[in-house]
Amino acid sequence: FRAIWQFLGWIDDTKPLGSLMAALEETELTPADRGFSSAARTAVIEQGIVRRRKVDVVADIPARRVADLPVELDGAIGRSIRAAEAALAQRMVAHYRSAVAARTVGHPARAVDGIDLELVRRVAAAELKDSSERSTGDNVFTMVRRIGHAKAGLAADYTAQLARNVGKVVFFAKHIDVMDQAEQTFADRGIKYASIRGEQTPRVRAKNIKAFTEDPEVQVVVCSLTAAGVGINLQVASNMVLAELSWTDAEQTQAIDRIHRIGQSEPVTAWRIIATQTIDAKIAELIDQKSGLAARALDGAGEQEGAASADVQLEALVSLLTDALKADGLA
């Protein structure tokens, strides 16, 4: 069935695409909810029915855009993050140089002028695999989490400003500690908020969604990217803050589609908080390259292309290692 579904464009290697994703969203259930499996089965069966796709009705929806807000991580936290990133880069440089030395011992003809890009990718892939298996020490995942935590206060501040000036705002984050920090900021400022998290029951989630969409005093909804990325309609808002970056354009697009959907009457802006001079900026650049955001307006046309599932984690490490090798004098 996997091969057939891929041929029909319903899935790629890891996730539903296009019309199947839309059908799953219509269930308003997440994989953690009771009844999701049955609803998903029905959605697959009904794929034989012609549906009106978002890409076919994009003219009916106001424009949307992703606006980057660069932030500088100052103080000890910023220095610590940049030092950890430099240490990661130098660890990969050491592995790269060790591999080059081992390859050329007794075989000088195997030497490569400049940077061996194939070897760079192998070293980066090994680091990524090691990072996934290692529970201690700094790696690309721990750095991204630390960056998210460091950005949380700044992202919440900007969200509060938006709520005061333009109305309801959706705040998206990946990690619980970032959501906690944001909610504390809103509470301290007297901003009423709702929360959508993975551990909530469907009843609690529905209650919180209703509070945000129907109560004029609830100005912000704090959402988990994994728990609220699909199946939820938040189009009462036209502004969103992405406090943490996704690893794929697909996840980012699904989050934005909570407010940019049929029925939205206002132009939509997703404000992406990016920590400058860190791997955060590189991840944002890679996501944009994979999705084509740098070359065209974000109009939903790329939702079925499957390119969003590219391995941004690996590419980020490749870029980090390449830049470090260039800084060491290789070109």
pLDDT band, very low/low/confident/very high, at 7 (cuts 50, 70, 90): very low
Instruction: Give the separation between CA 250 and CA 11, rounded to whole angstroms.
Output: 12
User: What is the mean predicted confidence (pLDDT) over 205-221?
Assistant: 95
Point out the least confidently predicted range of 2-16, 78-92, 100-114, 130-144: 2-16
pLDDT at 41 (0 to 100): 62
8 A C-beta contact, residue 36 and residue 20: no
pLDDT at 227 (0 to 100): 76
Pairing status of strand 64-71 against strand 239-242: unpaired
pLDDT at 320 (0 to 100): 94
Q: Is the dihedral of CA 255, 1, 54, 308 positive or negative?
A: positive
Please spell the DSSP secondary structure of 205-231, one letter per residue: HHHHHHHHHH-TTEEEEEEEHHHHSSS
pLDDT at 302 (0 to 100): 45
Over residues 56-65, the pLDDT tens digits come to 445 567 788 8
Pairing status of strand 218-224 against strand 192-196: parallel
User: What is the mean predicted confidence (pLDDT) over 284-301?
Assistant: 63
Angle between helix 140-166 and 176-188 (nearest 10): 30
pLDDT at 298 (0 to 100): 41
pLDDT band, very low/low/confident/very high, at 253 (cuts 50, 70, 90): confident
Residue scoring higher pLDDT (267 or 134): 267
Residue scoring higher pLDDT (50 or 40): 40
pLDDT band, very low/low/confident/very high, at 43 (cuts 50, 70, 90): low
Q: What phi and psi values does residue 129 have, to the nearest 5 degrees?
A: -65, -45
pTM here is 0.74
Point out the least confidently predicted range of 85-89, 211-215, 264-268, 309-313: 309-313
- Domains in the chain, start-ordered, CATH in brackets? 2-51 (no CATH), 58-73+148-297 (3.40.50.300), 75-141+318-327 (no CATH)
8 A C-beta contact, residue 258 and residue 234: yes
